[in-house]
Structure 1
Amino acid sequence: MSDWGPVFVAVVLFILLTPGLLVQIPGKGRFIEFGNFQTSGASILPLHNPFFEKKMADWAPVLIGVVLFVLLQPGLLFQLPGHNRQLEFGSMKTNGKAIAIHTLIFFAIYAILILALHVHIYTG
């Protein structure tokens, strides 16, 4: 039996921490901006910095979640759907539909790696 708890927590955090949806640090014009639907490389780094416990044995859920979070941010590398086209690259903008689609992509990849393939990264 698989434990879906970490997958659902990761998906909720992906949505809530998407730069520009609720908050962007740093913002385009100010240090902090709310609901501007903008993103940047600099604004992704502060938001994906999780607190790691010293005795965590399996790092796979955390590392996979962080890597997917960065790679799948709508507007950073790509955005599906884009503003003017179905697929845009590096627009640094996002929208509600793109956040929903990217969340589904995140969920699918994360669930496959963690639950179906049972990827583990153990520390010694």
Structure 2
Amino acid sequence: MVDWAPIILGMLLFILLSPGLLFQLPGNQRHIEFGSFKTNGKAVLVHTILFFGIYTILLLAIGIHIYMAGKATMADWGPVLIAVVLFVLLSPGLLFQIPGSSKNRVIEFGNMHTSGASILVHTIIYFGLITIFLIFINVHVYTD
């Protein structure tokens, strides 16, 4: 039985917390900026902490599950760790951005910019990778 909550919640939070899309904390010019489509290393760190906190609360503290049929229990840190690592690695503009900011580049590295198109592409990559890790490879990290 597959629990889709880690994938769906992770994907939604990836979109909503991508630095520069809705907001960025801290901003480049102000403490908080809205819809700037730019980012910086500090903002990625703050947004990663927010992602980790919200994701952990939703999955482990509240215990949200999405099953196609039936019910099971989950005390597994695997989805949290994988989702947070993917959030950092796939934050548009931090390591890379697809498509790039300039019109003649398909990919740019470390440019600290983002766009709606790059958030969409990175979200699709995020969905594919988290699905592979959680559904096909079936990664688990259990704690006592």
Aligned length: 124
Structure 2 unmatched runs, 5+: 62-73
SS at match of 1:63: helix
State the match for 1:74 in structure 2.
92
State the match for 2:8 in structure 1.
8
The answer to whether structure 1 residue 103 and structure 2 residue 123 are counterparts is yes
Higher Rg of the two aligned structures: 2
The answer to whether structure 1 residue 42 and structure 2 residue 62 are counterparts is no
Of 113-122 and 56-65, the range deviating more from structure 2:
56-65
How far apart, CA to CA, are the structure 1 residues paired with 2:46 and 2:112? 16
State the match for 1:117 in structure 2.
137
Between the aligned residues of both structures, percent identity stands at 52
Structure 1 vs Structure 2 CA RMSD:
1.7
How far apart, CA to CA, are the structure 2 residues paired with 1:46 and 1:77? 16
The normalised TM-score by structure 1 is: 0.93
Higher helix share: 2
The normalised TM-score by structure 2 is: 0.81
Task: Give the drift of 1:5.
Answer: 2.2
Query: 1:79-116: CA deviations, max 9, x gaps?
Result: 00001210100010011110000000000000110111
